[in-house]
Amino acid sequence: MAGVNEAMDKLRDEMAAAKDDSSIAVLGEYMTERLLGDEALAGAVLAKGKTLAGAFSAIKEYARKHQKNGFACVDEETAYKVTCAYYGIEAKTSSGPSAALGMTAPAARPQALARDALDLDALLGE
């Protein structure tokens, strides 16, 4: 348990040091959740040279390698997979911060309404 507490402290310290960087906060929350679910991961978090900033750099490098026309977008699941690869742990993306907060993927967008489906005059009472 001491290793877990030490790993948690390390993550908290890293997040506090980068308090204005939401990317570090999100990665820190993800790693904290993973650590709570699997105490064996403490060694990966405590490994020399492994930091949340390093994990974020790995995500940026992934984006650079996968860019198209100077643009890259890394979705949450991929970012967590890259983070896990950086720490040398098995990827589990179904338990990220979004899941912990009860967030789900956005619902499909509703079909566009027919042009005459909305009568603005009736809505405004005119």
Does a structural domain hold residue 115?
no
Q: How high is the mean pLDDT of the chain?
A: 81
Return the structure tokens found at 12: 């908290």
Which residue blocks in 18-119 are alpha helix, DSSP H?
22-37, 42-46, 52-65, 76-87, 97-100
User: pLDDT tens digits for 52-106?
Assistant: 999 999 999 999 999 999 899 999 999 999 999 999 999 875 544 554 433 344 4
Average pLDDT score over residue span 39-43: 92
Q: How far apart (Å, rounded) are the C-alpha atoms in residues 75 and 88?
A: 20
Q: Which range marks the domain in which residue 8 is found?
A: 2-100
How many domains does the chain divide into? 1
